[in-house]
Amino acid sequence: QVQLVESGGGLVQPGGSLRLSCTASGIFPAINVMNWYRQAPGKQRELVALISREGRTNYRDSVKGRFTISRDNARNTVYLQMNSLTPEDTAVYYCKAFVGVDAYWGQGTQVTVSS
């Protein structure tokens, strides 16, 4: 079983930055792709960024150039560095990890961008 715990969310002013972290614990083989999703009130959950075990990344268009996903395989941790935040980035951010074909979700961390 895999447990994912996110941290790093909070309230930030427009133009500010936050760094989210998600750490996996438990007993499991290697984690494959790790993802960050977000869900704003009244909207569907959407994929923000993903990173393979080898470090290949992909981003949704609206965050390209502002967000950076990275991972530390030794610590089973994935990060999301978010810069130049706007109110449209306000959402609950979720971590998702694949172990084999099984997917696991974290509980989410709230990010609020407001002046």
Predicted local confidence at residue 22, as pLDDT:
97
Q: Is the pLDDT of residue 115 over 90?
A: yes
Over residues 89-96, mean pLDDT: 98
Predicted local confidence at residue 1, as pLDDT:
82
Predicted local confidence at residue 28, as pLDDT:
81
Predicted local confidence at residue 52, as pLDDT:
96
Predicted local confidence at residue 66, as pLDDT:
98
Predicted local confidence at residue 4, as pLDDT:
96
The alpha carbon dihedral of 86, 33, 107, 19 has a sign of negative
Indicate the average pLDDT of the chain: 96
In this predicted model, what pLDDT tens digit does every residue of 16-74 receive, in sequence order?
Answer: 999 999 999 987 888 899 999 999 999 999 999 999 999 999 999 999 999 999 999 99
Predicted local confidence at residue 26, as pLDDT:
86
Over residues 90-103, mean pLDDT: 94
3-state secondary structure the chain: CEEEEEECCEEECCCCCEEEEEEEEECCCCCCCEEEEEECCCCCCEEEEEECCCCCEEECHHHCCCEEEEEEHHHCEEEEEECCCCHHHCEEEEEEEEECCEEEECCCEEEEECC
